[in-house]
Amino acid sequence: MLTDLFWILTLTLQIFADINLATCVFLITFLNYFILTNFFWMFVEGLYLYMLVVQTFTGENITLRVYATIGWGK
């Protein structure tokens, strides 16, 4: 949802406002960042479900910190 709102904000500013190149690059960079985090969070949720269903009986479990690192790219 945050990506959708940011996309609407970027489109509105590009159409109605006279912005310079640096602002445009800044907005597009953050828009692409939010789109990529959506895809990485889908990957993290799939990995989490895999760990719950398939890897339940092994001792090698991934912690929540690893999931957050993959999803947000820290």
* Cβ-contact 24, 14 below 8 angstroms: yes
Dihedral sign of CA atoms 43, 72, 12, 1 in order: positive
Stretch 19-48: mean pLDDT, rounded?
Answer: 84
The beta strand positions in 1-74, using DSSP E, are none
Tell me how many helices (H) and strands (E) the chain has. 3, 0
Residue 19: is its pLDDT beyond 80?
no
Summarize pLDDT for 56-65 with one digit per residue, the tens: 666 566 666 7
Q: What pLDDT does 40 receive?
A: 87
Q: What pLDDT does 32 receive?
A: 86
Closest CA to 70 of 49, 47, 54: 47
Dihedral sign of CA atoms 28, 29, 34, 38 in order: positive
Residue 74 or 8, more confident: 8
